[in-house]
Structure 1
Amino acid sequence: MTKINDSARSRFYLTSNFSLAKLDVMKQVLSSIKLFSIFFFFICFTFPLRAQELLDPLSQPRFVNPLPVPPVIDGSNGGTFTVSISQFYQDLGLRNPITGTPMLTPVWGYNGTYPGPTIVARKNVPLHFFWNNNLYDPSTLQPLPHLLPIDTTIEWALMNEAGWRQYGVPTVTHLHGGHTEAASDGGPLAWNTPFFTKKGPDFIKGQNEPYTYNNDQDAATLWYHDHALGITRLNVYAGLAGFYVLTDDYEQQLKTQHKLPADAYDMGLVIQDRMFTNDGKLFYPADLEEQGEISTSILPEFFGDFILVNGKAWPVLDVEPRQYLFRILNGSDSRFYNLFLSGNNTFTRVGSDQGLLPSPVPVNQMLIGPGERTEIIIDFANPSLQGQTIILRNNAKTPYRAGKPNDPRTTGQIMAFRVNKTLNTSIPLSILPARLLPSIAPLVQNGPVRKLLLAEGEDRFERIEPILGTVDGGAMDFDEPVTENIKLNDTEIWEFYNTTVDEHPIHLHLVKFQVLSHQKFTGDLDPVTKKLTNIRLTGQPQLYNLDEKGWKDTHIVPAGEVTRVIAKFDRPGKYVWHCHILSHEDHDMMRPFIVSDTGDANAMAKATARVKIDAADELRWTLLPNPFNSNATIELNLPEAKKISIKLYDGNGRLVKQIYRGDRDAGIQKWTIDGSSMANGVYFCEVMVNNLKFLRKLVLQK
């Protein structure tokens, strides 16, 4: 059982009773354990290495680097765009502590910039994107190694590939918050390596057919980032993230009427924490790969000691005396931010993950977890602010919420605003109205209530492993059978029972949801399976005001509480839900869900096992093995003689080969698909029996 994670932690998980009192104690214990785990990495793997000496954040200037504004891809009129994922050097605001000269940092980014370009989209104007994985040396065409240590002891994209380094780094781009078709969602198994030499089992679009974003949702601050299985935390840390701002006629009308700041005063702020070595390179705690040893870089959580905004350390923005709209994204691995302004200044919240709130909400502080977004107005027009420098600060503990206070000199500061620019009188001042939108209509449930589990255990190396599952079924790995089989267009309530000591920002792909309530609970937690029984709700539920909180796609689920959300699942296909602490997501805190016409748990199995020939009889056929690495066999059991046609298509619908065409007698008939000359990827086998057509997906993985 547990050894490295402390006996107190073992007692918590071995007890049969899950109580809030124990949870409060364990929050404090686990905070120390996790901080010790990170400290342990530094002691063991940093100090012996002179080249790995870390850059002291206190040696760096603050509030002198201008806030970068990422370039814009204007998709407001539609179109098809190609975006390159590549490696380059960028000034992140770091200075040599001795000479004061700038230090450039090798990073990854989209179209040669970190963060990636801000994509501006318009409601109901589709966009098409090729996300090209160009992580290779252009002079040799050899794939580049990762900037950070890949942990091959966890489940990850190339885990089944011998000599995986020769293929390069897998990437896949996910539009976070997008109401996106499954084939373009950028799920964790839809990755590809440079030149498409290797592709994930869910790879469909991206090579010859672009991702499609229909943009059929209201104005919102979305973002795009890498989502490759098991290395999301590393790829995002290297720089693969950017804003995707979706606007609509109504939002533009508010700007035209000067009820929201004009576009020139509408800015995105992505906040991320990082660590650096003394020569300005990104640092991620891990042991070293020596003589073929495995590199382990998975951590309970990661917290950097540098704060970057839009890719610059502690920047400053010079502002006019007027209102500004800031779209804030927490793009960090694990760090929560409780944001507030120095000098008792306040701001006004006007939007959440999925768009505008009905009414502006004045606040003096605001919590934002990894993956969440918020839209705020800061009004610099007060004459008393003229010439002042206002600091955006953070006082969230790490880990949140039972961890240690951050350093007020470093991670307690985000960026600064200097009110020193002359007012541009050619652009009218904006004045927030009392109402921005009509009230949000509550969703009406017509589907089931799902009781889902957030738990923690240990992996095979006795490391802390966060995990998801169901209350009745217990903890489940990412690749276990799907338990959330959803009927298309059903509106379901999902209840997240958090039995861990952490707050988890839970993200659902595809949907936007409404938060209904939080409530404390107790229950009996099985120490092995993590099944939760004898649940007893305690206290009163904390109800959410939709007009103040708005639509969400990522929401913090407090420890020891059940959080209820409601969502409509209106696109078919396979998606995922997961914790957006990236270190948790990569270490198996992610599960798939499937939306289908029937919502039948066996719908997909049935569809690939038996299909109707007519009202009287059935065709039984198999296509095995699947995935296959050389040959696959098609076997049909014909009840009588039939005309047969068998074709193989690639993932883009192009004919690869005609396998058979002719008559066959009753009985078992077999054909072989020779994959020796075929490229890895997804194929579709079409079987026509008389005039009836049947299709099945086939994956070639050599």
Structure 2
Amino acid sequence: MKMKKFVNPLPVPPLIKPFNKTKSLTSYKVTMREGRHKFDKSLPPAIIWGYNGIYPGPTFEVRKNERVEVHWINQLPRDQFLPVDTTILPPEQQKVPTGISIVHLHGGKTRPEFDGYPTAWYSRDLEFVGPEFVTDVFQYDNNQRPTGLMYHDHTFAITRLNVYAGLFGTYFIRGKEEDKLNLPKGKFELPINIHDLSLNPDGTLFYPDQPDPNPSGIVPSVVPEFFGEFMSVNGKLYPFLDVEPRKYRFRIVNICNSRFLSMRLTSGQPFIQIGTDGGLLKKPVKVEQLILGPAERADVILDFSQFKGKSITLTNNANSPFPDGDPVNNNTSVIMQFRVTLPLSRKDKSEIPNQLSKFKFFKESEAVRIRDITLDETLDQFGRLLLLLNNTPFDKKPITETPELNTIEIWRFINLTEDTHPMHIHLVQFQILYRQKFDVELFEGTGELEFTSGRIPPDPNERGFKDTVRANPDEVTAVIARFGPFSGLYVYHCHILEHEDYEMMRPFEVVDEDEE
């Protein structure tokens, strides 16, 4: 199937309005339901699952420390319309319909009962609920650095299908520090949700029902990764955006299931990155090539003032799987186009300040513990690829990661696989300490960690707060975080959704010694 590029205007998801607002609480209702969506003007509408029935969901815009309540109402059909592999479902999920969901505010400092624990799912009208279910009315304190978060489905073993079907959206936290900066805003600030997808000839979403080859013979069967045939932004294939010759702020999210993005602009201009997953950097960073793994975000400014009358394409050249898999093709090497065709509506008074934010870096000496977590690749009983953390399935007891409330720990991800994994830790915003190459064969044989390089510092545009980090093959990736402000049960996992759904996820419990 061939698709014409740059014929769809870039859509902007609508801002959601609260149904009630008091001094102490802002209340929203969001209904998860089936909808119809056109991915391209030439295609008929396709079935999607969306928050409020739209793809992507509406955008939240809240203030730091604003207490927010969201009633996440499940009105999805009884069963998922994409192929569900029942062999990877836990026993309690095999007895219920597959139209279940639970929402995770990705990057949010959230109480455990509102974090979207994978087995806290619930069905339409709460007819069925998972073992960790507490409520479908979530509270978010927003007591964290202003940043761009995302919200998405987090249901055990079907996250990859629910997110692919459209259950994702953007959540902005605003604050005084950002208000004081004269950054582009209003219509000059836009979310850019990049998602690869495949379509059937009738324009409906295609998701494979088995890997190729399929040693198990099981259909439907989980696939090791999913790489879509086409690139979409905010729900449209290869859109274009008409812009003025001035500065714009783009909040870029990689919402692909498995695909990494390595992006450039055909104009040769740099991305001026001002923020990461966890908010503003200390200073702006010029980035020629912007790499984002699934769930990573970049807050960037693009200056079109020197490109009046020009068309600039946002390109991608990341191999799949990353970094050494198949190269991009004509469909996956381009994402969208900026057309500098609009007249300047008013003088551009926005600025890119030299100093963006002030924050402290954690010191290694502050850490009370170092935890080592291996990223492992093996085969399941059917001969299918199975990825694990510390060679341990999700539900195996006991919980091995139990940081004490408000203590600082270093977690080292030891990647024994051939691919890069975007590792996400719930609850915290961490800082990357370093990456370091090591002797994989020696480690696999003896468990001895012998480094073969010095410490590689994080990239300049990673030197802020992060909730997702690229853990590269043959490297140890060390991050440091304070585990708080809440105690309770959370998870950490690979954010390649096909890996997360099939065991590359483990619980951790933040323990409050005062409660015991």
TM-score, structure 1 normalization: 0.69
Deviation at 1:598, TM superposition (A): 2.8
Within 1, Cα distance between the matches of 2:57 and 2:446? 42
The residue type paired with residue 58 of structure 2 is P
Within 1, Cα distance between the matches of 2:504 and 2:272? 34
For 2:327, the equivalent position in structure 1 comes to 405
Within 2, Cα distance between the matches of 1:157 and 1:488? 32
Deviation at 1:442, TM superposition (A): 2.6
Deviation string, structure 1 residues 256-283 (Cα, Å, up to 9, x no partner)? xx3x112221110000000011011111
Of 142, 145, 149, 1:218 maps to 145
Of 563, 572, 581, 2:496 maps to 581
Q: Does 1:331 align with 2:258?
A: no
**Aligned residues of 1:504 and 1:556 also touching (Cα < 8 A):** yes
Deviation at 1:410, TM superposition (A): 1.1
Deviation at 1:297, TM superposition (A): 3.4
Of 459, 462, 466, 1:552 maps to 466
SS at match of 1:300: coil
Deviation at 1:452, TM superposition (A): 0.9
Of 205, 214, 220, 1:282 maps to 205
**Aligned residues of 2:285 and 2:461 also touching (Cα < 8 A):** no
For 2:115, the equivalent position in structure 1 comes to 185
Q: Does 1:262 align with 2:185?
A: yes
For 1:369, the equivalent position in structure 2 comes to 293
Within 2, Cα distance between the matches of 1:91 and 1:283? 14
Q: Which runs of 5+ in 1 are unaligned?
A: 1-55, 96-101, 137-142, 470-474, 608-702
SS at match of 1:397: coil
Deviation at 1:80, TM superposition (A): 1.3
Within 1, Cα distance between the matches of 2:491 and 2:500? 11
**Kindly tell me: are residues 547 and 367 of structure 1, through their superposed partners in 2, closer, same or farther at Cα, counting changes over 3 Å?**
closer
For 1:436, the equivalent position in structure 2 comes to 356
Deviation string, structure 1 residues 229-269 (Cα, Å, up to 9, x no partner)? 00000000000000001110111121xxx3x1122211100
**Aligned residues of 2:440 and 2:474 also touching (Cα < 8 A):** no
Within 1, Cα distance between the matches of 2:88 and 2:166? 22
The residue type paired with residue 346 of structure 1 is P
Within 2, Cα distance between the matches of 1:402 and 1:122? 41
**Aligned residues of 1:498 and 1:557 also touching (Cα < 8 A):** yes
Within 2, Cα distance between the matches of 1:342 and 1:232? 34
Of 136, 161, 175, 1:248 maps to 175
Q: Does 1:487 align with 2:404?
A: yes
Of 429, 436, 443, 1:519 maps to 436
Q: Does 1:416 align with 2:346?
A: no
Deviation at 1:343, TM superposition (A): 2.7
Q: Does 1:196 align with 2:126?
A: yes
Within 2, Cα distance between the matches of 1:547 and 1:273? 24
Taking the TM superposition and a 5 Å limit, the aligned residue runs for 1:553-702 are: 553-570=467-484, 571-598=486-513
Deviation at 1:561, TM superposition (A): 0.6
Deviation at 1:93, TM superposition (A): 1.0
Deviation string, structure 1 residues 20-50 (Cα, Å, up to 9, x no partner)? xxxxxxxxxxxxxxxxxxxxxxxxxxxxxxx
**Aligned residues of 2:435 and 2:478 also touching (Cα < 8 A):** yes
Deviation string, structure 1 residues 50-107 (Cα, Å, up to 9, x no partner)? xxxxxx1xx2111110000001025697511110000011111152xxxxxx311110
The residue type paired with residue 318 of structure 2 is A
Deviation at 1:345, TM superposition (A): 2.3
Please identify the structure whose Cα radius of gyration is greater. 1
Of 202, 213, 229, 1:305 maps to 229
For 2:31, the equivalent position in structure 1 comes to 84
What is the identity percentage for the equivalent residue pairs of Structure 1 and Structure 2? 41
The residue type paired with residue 394 of structure 1 is N
Within 1, Cα distance between the matches of 2:371 and 2:210? 40
Of 130, 134, 153, 2:71 maps to 130
Within 1, Cα distance between the matches of 2:463 and 2:333? 25
The residue type paired with residue 461 of structure 1 is F
SS at match of 1:361: strand
Within 2, Cα distance between the matches of 1:532 and 1:113? 52
Deviation string, structure 1 residues 518-557 (Cα, Å, up to 9, x no partner)? 001115579xxx7861221111110236776211000000
Within 1, Cα distance between the matches of 2:503 and 2:113? 22
For 1:459, the equivalent position in structure 2 comes to 380
**Kindly tell me: are residues 525 and 228 of structure 1, through their superposed partners in 2, closer, same or farther at Cα, counting changes over 3 Å?**
farther
Deviation at 1:568, TM superposition (A): 0.4
Deviation at 1:411, TM superposition (A): 0.4
**Kindly tell me: are residues 184 and 157 of structure 1, through their superposed partners in 2, closer, same or farther at Cα, counting changes over 3 Å?**
farther
Which moves more between the two structures, 72-81 or 582-591?
A: 72-81
**Aligned residues of 1:323 and 1:429 also touching (Cα < 8 A):** no
Deviation at 1:435, TM superposition (A): 1.2
Cα root mean square deviation, aligned: 2.0
For 1:62, the equivalent position in structure 2 comes to 5
**Kindly tell me: are residues 250 and 397 of structure 1, through their superposed partners in 2, closer, same or farther at Cα, counting changes over 3 Å?**
same
User: How many corresponding residue pairs?
Assistant: 504
SS at match of 1:229: coil
**Aligned residues of 1:172 and 1:191 also touching (Cα < 8 A):** yes
Within 1, Cα distance between the matches of 2:178 and 2:285? 17
Q: Does 1:174 align with 2:174?
A: no
Deviation at 1:160, TM superposition (A): 4.1
**Aligned residues of 2:276 and 2:461 also touching (Cα < 8 A):** no
**Aligned residues of 2:413 and 2:476 also touching (Cα < 8 A):** yes
For 2:450, the equivalent position in structure 1 comes to 536
Q: Which runs of 5+ in 2 are unaligned?
A: 212-216
For 2:246, the equivalent position in structure 1 comes to 322
SS at match of 2:38: strand
Within 2, Cα distance between the matches of 1:157 and 1:372? 32
SS at match of 1:233: helix
Within 2, Cα distance between the matches of 1:362 and 1:524? 37
Within 2, Cα distance between the matches of 1:586 and 1:531? 29
Within 1, Cα distance between the matches of 2:360 and 2:424? 21
Within 2, Cα distance between the matches of 1:308 and 1:82? 27
The residue type paired with residue 400 of structure 1 is F
TM-score, structure 2 normalization: 0.94
Deviation at 1:422, TM superposition (A): 1.3
Of 413, 418, 423, 1:501 maps to 418
**Aligned residues of 2:247 and 2:348 also touching (Cα < 8 A):** no
**Kindly tell me: are residues 387 and 186 of structure 1, through their superposed partners in 2, closer, same or farther at Cα, counting changes over 3 Å?**
same
Within 1, Cα distance between the matches of 2:105 and 2:150? 6
Deviation at 1:429, TM superposition (A): 2.5
For 2:62, the equivalent position in structure 1 comes to 121
**Kindly tell me: are residues 305 and 177 of structure 1, through their superposed partners in 2, closer, same or farther at Cα, counting changes over 3 Å?**
same
**Kindly tell me: are residues 262 and 446 of structure 1, through their superposed partners in 2, closer, same or farther at Cα, counting changes over 3 Å?**
same
Within 1, Cα distance between the matches of 2:242 and 2:220? 42
- Runs of 4+ in structure 1 off by over 6 angstroms are none
Within 2, Cα distance between the matches of 1:531 and 1:130? 51
**Kindly tell me: are residues 476 and 94 of structure 1, through their superposed partners in 2, closer, same or farther at Cα, counting changes over 3 Å?**
farther
**Aligned residues of 1:440 and 1:550 also touching (Cα < 8 A):** no
Deviation at 1:147, TM superposition (A): 1.7
SS at match of 1:487: coil
The residue type paired with residue 350 of structure 2 is S
**Bigger relative CO (Cα 8 Å, ≥ 6 apart):** 2
Deviation string, structure 1 residues 394-435 (Cα, Å, up to 9, x no partner)? 01111110112101x21000000000111111x643121111
